[in-house]
């Protein structure tokens, strides 16, 4: 089930909302590759690894910008928010390392299981993080980059 952007995710900070929309698109791209090739994912390992790498890179960039906006506006829970970002980054790195292990990349059953779990994790984390955590800083943001 592809995750769709909804107005409930809007922080009303155009740069942040634009980045969140791109994160949705990147997760949907991974899910599309997964759904279209389920059962024979080993033929799409390069596309899958590239898509996960792009998501990882973009997420790191997004977190830096989001944290900078919170810092500029003296958001009181900035450190706790950064820790959540760090935990997510660590988890993505762990998952990417697992993905690039040759054992996983050559086993369709394991790849299917991995991507099913990865997509569920990404979708849940992103939507919960935006709705529960990012909305907390929304009232504090007066200045943007």
Which sequence spans correspond to the domains of the chain?
10-34+43-140
Fold of 10-34+43-140: 1.20.120
Q: Quick one: DSSP state of residue 132?
A: I
- The dihedral over CA atoms of 65, 66, 72, 76, expressed in degrees to the nearest 10, equals -150
- At which residue do the structure tokens 């997420």 appear? 59
Q: Residue-wise pLDDT tens for the chain (145 aa)? A: 567 889 999 999 999 999 999 999 999 999 999 999 998 999 998 999 999 999 999 999 999 999 999 999 999 999 999 999 999 999 998 998 888 876 888 889 999 999 999 999 999 999 999 999 999 999 999 877 6
The confidence score (pLDDT) of residue 140 equals 94
63 Cα distance to chain centroid: 10
Q: What pTM did the predictor assign?
A: 0.91
Distance from C-alpha of 33 to C-alpha of 47, rounded to nearest angstrom: 8
SS3 98: helix
Distance from C-alpha of 100 to C-alpha of 5, rounded to nearest angstrom: 29
81 Cα distance to chain centroid: 15
Residues 6+ apart with CB under 8 A from 67: 78, 81, 82, 85
The confidence score (pLDDT) of residue 39 equals 87
pLDDT one-digit tens code per residue, 59-84: 999 999 999 999 999 999 999 999 99
Tokens matching residue 71: 């810092």
The confidence score (pLDDT) of residue 1 equals 54
Distances from the Cα of 131 to the Cαs of 11, 93, 108, in angstroms? 9, 24, 34
């Amino acid at each position: 089930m592809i995750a769709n952007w909804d107005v409930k995710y809007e922080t009303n900070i155009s740069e942040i909302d634009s980045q969140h929309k791109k994160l949705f698109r990147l997760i949907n791209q991974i899910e599309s590759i997964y759904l279209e090739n389920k059962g024979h994912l080993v033929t799409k390992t390069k596309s899958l690894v590239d898509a996960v790498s792009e998501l990882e890179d973009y997420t790191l960039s997004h977190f830096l910008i989001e944290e900078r906006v919170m810092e500029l506006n003296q958001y009181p829970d900035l450190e706790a928010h950064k820790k959540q970002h760090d935990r997510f980054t660590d988890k993505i790195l762990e998952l990417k390392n697992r993905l690039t292990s040759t054992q996983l990349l050559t086993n369709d059953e394991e790849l299917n299981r991995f991507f099913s779990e990865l997509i569920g994790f990404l979708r849940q984390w992103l939507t919960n993080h935006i709705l529960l955590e990012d909305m907390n800083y929304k009232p504090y943001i007066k200045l943007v980059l």
